[in-house]
Amino acid sequence: MSAPRAAPEIRPLTSIALKSCLDTLRPRLAEASVCDLFAGAGRFGEGCLKEGAARVVFVEKDARQIGALKKIQSGTVVAEDVFQYLVQCGEEFDIVFADPPFPVWNETFAAQLSGSVLPRLAVGGIFLVKMPKRVLFSLAIPGLKIMKSSEFGESKLSYWERVS
């Protein structure tokens, strides 16, 4: 019996992309506080825990994913809408990873996501976003600077650092 396939709009982080993320972030992961938004199965956050992150919060509203997320040791699972969580949580993270479904991407969504994450990102923190590579996601938000962008198939990973 084969594993169920993800819906076409869901594109889990591939092993190659995950390795690239963890290699890039490794110097910052020791004792880091990480937030994995649109967590899905939680591969990114789980990888961060294995690399020494002190804490990972997995935010996912899809009930089908919550059970798998709760099996990850040392992680905190929040079964809530990402934007509601970001407004209510009141804490800052060293690393915030967002992997929303591809169909939601447009300028309005991009602005809402970046505007919601910025108050939750510590100065010097990294905002990592997985998006369709066709999307031009230009942040005109004071305090963030682009660090790196990498393409993996139909996906792009973009890294921003909060500078002030």
pLDDT tens figures, 40-69: 999 999 999 999 999 999 999 999 899 889
Kind of pairing between the strands at 33-37 and 55-59 = parallel
Euclidean distance between the first and the last CA atom of the chain, given in angstroms as a whole number: 51
Listed by start position, the domains of the chain span: 15-162
Q: What is the pTM of this model?
A: 0.89
| 67-102 tens-digit pLDDT | 889 888 789 999 999 999 999 999 999 999 999 998
Which parts of the chain fold into alpha helices (H)? 15-29, 43-50, 63-70, 82-88, 107-117
At the top level of CATH, which class does the domain 15-162 belong to? alpha beta
Phi first, then psi: give them for residue 117, nearest 5 degrees: -75, -40
Quick one: what percent of the chain has pLDDT higher than 90?
A: 62
